[in-house]
Amino acid sequence: MAREDLYDDPVFFQRYSQMDRSREGLAGAGEWEALEPLLPDLRGKRMLDLGCGYGWHCVWAAEHGASAVTGVDLSERMLAVAREKSAAFPQIVYLRSAIEDVSFPPESFDLVFSSLALHYLSSFQAFLALVRSCLRPGGDLVFSVEHPVFTAAGPQEWIYGLDGTPLPFPVDRYFDEGQRTARFLDAPVVKYHRTLTTYLDGLLTGGFRLLRVVEPQPPQRLLDRPGMRDELRRPMMLLVAARLETGAAERRTR
């Protein structure tokens, strides 16, 4: 099942809604302590959130002074929840669309943000072109994405010993970029593996200055949750903060 349908599948959506990060929001997301310091001061800023899901980050931005927040997601079920959570914030607007299909006038935003959505996109270059087309020069791009170590082999599973304990995490097909099918919440999910080079050198050679590159570790307060200690054994996410260089913005051609 592709990203397009998955989050509108009632069974999958029900399972997703039971996850810590769905029930508890940012406090239930193990990476939030590492991600928050990468975000710029949002007071008076215009933010675009690509793959906004339940809208947790849109609400956070509005609470921290953002003057206008645009959340984009493909799932109507996700956006229904997001709209409900955002009722008190008229500066938040939600848009139902695939990330690949949106376009905005030049310099529409001061910050483009994306949480754990880019590994669903087939082209990181196309994503960067989208950002350059609508972010103001000097504006920020902050995103989290599944780590290339986590996406390389495909199944996103530990190797298990005969007694059921996880052995080392397998890396394979690292330089073979493209589709992988993993299981998430008991459903097959299509994701795209890319190397670190594609992400980081893609930014550096694509008009962006890197500000921060962080692989988050689970915070102490969550270490006793099931599986969390194993997250110290492999990097699962990559957090990046970058800035669009002056002169690098482009009109999108599509």
The encoded tokens of residue 239 equal: 């957090």
Task: Decide: is 153 part of the binding site for a copy of itself (CB under 8 A).
Answer: yes
The CA distance from 151 to 251, in Å, is: 32
Burial class (CB in 10 A: 0-12, 13-18, 19+), 178: exposed
Which of residues 197, 221, 223, 246 is near a copy of itself by CB under 8 A? Answer: 197
Opening angle at CA 81, ends 76 and 87, nearest 5: 120
Nearer to a copy of itself, 35 or 79 (CB): 35
Number of other residues whose CB lies within 10 A of the CB of residue 19: 12
Which of residues 205, 220, 224, 247 is near a copy of itself by CB under 8 A? Answer: 205
H/E element holding 187? strand 187-193
Which of residues 1, 116, 185, 211 is near a copy of itself by CB under 8 A? Answer: 211
The CA distance from 12 to 183, in Å, is: 12
Of 5-13, 105-113, 183-191, 203-211, the segment contacting a copy of itself by CB under 8 A is 203-211
Site residues (CB under 8 A) for a copy of itself, limited to 88-147: none
Of 10-18, 59-67, 128-136, 209-217, the segment contacting a copy of itself by CB under 8 A is 209-217
Nearer to a copy of itself, 96 or 173 (CB): 173
The answer to whether 145 and 237 are in contact (CB under 8 A) is yes
Nearer to a copy of itself, 186 or 224 (CB): 224
Of the candidates 43, 42, 191, the one whose C-alpha atom is nearest the C-alpha of residue 112 is: 42
Site residues (CB under 8 A) for a copy of itself, limited to 155-174: 159, 167-174
Task: Decide: is 19 part of the binding site for a copy of itself (CB under 8 A).
Answer: no
Of the candidates 117, 113, 120, 118, the one whose C-alpha atom is nearest the C-alpha of residue 134 is: 113
Q: Provide the binding-site residues for a copy of itself, judged by CB under 8 A.
A: 149, 152-153, 159, 167-176, 195-197, 200-201, 204-205, 209-215, 217, 232-235
